[in-house]
Structure 1
Amino acid sequence: MINLDYIGTWKEVMKSPSHFYSKMPRTGGYAAPILFAVVNVAIYSLFYLLFNPGAYDIGGFSSPMIFAVALLAPVVGVVALFLDATLIHIIQKVFGGKGNYEGTLRFVFYASAATSLLWIPLAGGIFGVYQLYLYVVGGRVVHEVSLERSALAVFLSILLVIVFIMLVSSSGFV
C-alpha cells in the first residue's frame, strides 16, 4: 500500500526543498515517487489541454485524439523524468557524488511538483526554472556535493540533451 500525502508532499517540496530532500529516504522503492510524478504530469497535461485547446490542432475537445494525448502525457512525462534522473545520476557520479540511483530518481521525481504549474500562462517558464533549482538542491543533498557541482551536473545534463537533439535533427532522422 502506497501512503501518499500528495498535497503535503507537494507543499514541502515547493516551499522547503532542502528540508524535504534532507529527510527524504534514499531508498524504499520507486512506487511513491513515480505516483507523485504521474499526478503532477497529469495535472499539467489536463490544465494545458483545457487552456490551450488548439495546441494539438485536433479539432477541439470532441476529438478522441485529445483523450489519447491526456492519457499518454503522464507516461511520456514519467519516461522523461527517468531519463533526467539517469543522466543527472551519471554526471553526479562523475563529479564524485555519493548518492545511489534510487535517491537520484526520488529527488528528480519529487521535483516534478513544479511541473504541475507549467501550464500557467506567462508564469509557467518560471516554474520550469524552479524545477531545475529543485534538481540542483536535490543533487546537493542526495549526492553530498557542493551546490556549484550539483548546478554544473544539471547544466551539463541539459547541454547533453540539447547536443543530442541537434545531432539527431541534423542527421536526417527527424
Structure 2
Amino acid sequence: MINLDYIGTWKEVMKSPSHFYSEMPRTGGYADPILFAVVNVAIYSLFYLLFNPGVYDVNGFSSPMIFAVALLAPVAGFVTLFLDATLLHIIQKALGGKGTYEGTVRFVLYASAALSLLWVPLAGGIFGVYQLYLYVVGGRFVHEVSLERSSLAVFLSVLMVIVFIVLISSSGLV
C-alpha cells in the first residue's frame, strides 16, 4: 500500500536528513521511495524545460527536440537514480558497509528531494551538491559506517562517473 506524504517527506529529507535516514525503514519495498522520486524527477524535468527551452534548439528543430526531451528526461533521471544506488551500494560494501541494496536504493530515491530544485537558475548547482550530501548521510545510516567512510564512497562514485565520461568522450563514441 502506497502511503506518501510528499510534502512532509520532502521537508524532512531536506531539513533533517540525519533524523530522516535514522528513522527510515531499511526494508518495506520500493513503492513509496519510487513514487517520491518520480515526483521529484518530474518536477525537475518540467521546470528545467520551461526555463531552458533554447538548450534543445538543434538546427531549427526545437519543437521535436523539446518533445523528445520532455518524454525522455524523466525516464533518464529515474534510471540515473538506480544507477547511482547500484554504484554506491557496491562501493559501500567494498568499504565495509553493512546495508542492503534495498536500503541503498531507498536512501538514494529519497535524496532525490534535492533534485526537485536542481532546475533553479544560478542556484541549481548548490542543490546538486546537497544531493551528494544526502547520499553521504543516507549511506552513513543505512550502511552503518562513519561519516568519513560514507563520504569516501560518494567521492569514489563521483570520481568513477567522471572517469567513465572522460573515457567515453575521448573514445569518439559521443
Structure 1 length-normalised TM: 0.94
Per mean C-alpha deviation after superposition, the further-off stretch among 132-141 and 45-54 is 45-54
Residue by residue over 1:56-86, the C-alpha shift from the partner in whole angstroms, topping out at 9 and shown as x without a partner, is 116698x244233222211110110111000
Contact 1:91/1:157 (8 A) holds in 2: yes
Amino acid at match of 1:115: L
After TM superposition, the structure 1 = structure 2 runs for residues 1-174 of structure 1, keeping only pairs within 5 Å, are 1-57=1-57, 63-174=63-174
Per mean C-alpha deviation after superposition, the further-off stretch among 22-31 and 68-77 is 68-77
Contact 1:53/1:60 (8 A) holds in 2: no
Backbone CA RMSD of aligned residues: 1.4
Secondary structure of the corresponding residue to residue 173 of structure 1: coil
Secondary structure of the corresponding residue to residue 54 of structure 2: coil
Secondary structure of the corresponding residue to residue 132 of structure 2: helix
Amino acid at match of 1:15: K
Q: Separation in 1 of the partners of 2:67 and 2:38?
A: 16
Contact 1:44/1:119 (8 A) holds in 2: yes
Secondary structure of the corresponding residue to residue 153 of structure 1: helix
Q: Would you say how many aligned residue pairs link Structure 1 and Structure 2? A: 173
Q: Separation in 1 of the partners of 2:121 and 2:147?
A: 30
Q: Which runs of 4+ in 1 moved over 4 A?
A: 58-61
List alignment gaps of at least 5 residues for structure 2: none
Q: Separation in 2 of the partners of 1:99 and 1:157?
A: 17
Contact 2:57/2:65 (8 A) holds in 1: no
Per mean C-alpha deviation after superposition, the further-off stretch among 13-22 and 49-58 is 49-58
Q: Separation in 2 of the partners of 1:166 and 1:23?
A: 38
Amino acid at match of 2:21: Y
Contact 1:111/1:131 (8 A) holds in 2: yes
Q: Separation in 2 of the partners of 1:8 and 1:169?
A: 41
Contact 2:37/2:110 (8 A) holds in 1: yes
Contact 1:54/1:60 (8 A) holds in 2: no
Structure 2 length-normalised TM: 0.94
Secondary structure of the corresponding residue to residue 163 of structure 1: helix
Inter-CA distance 38–60: structure 2 relative to 1 (3 Å threshold): farther
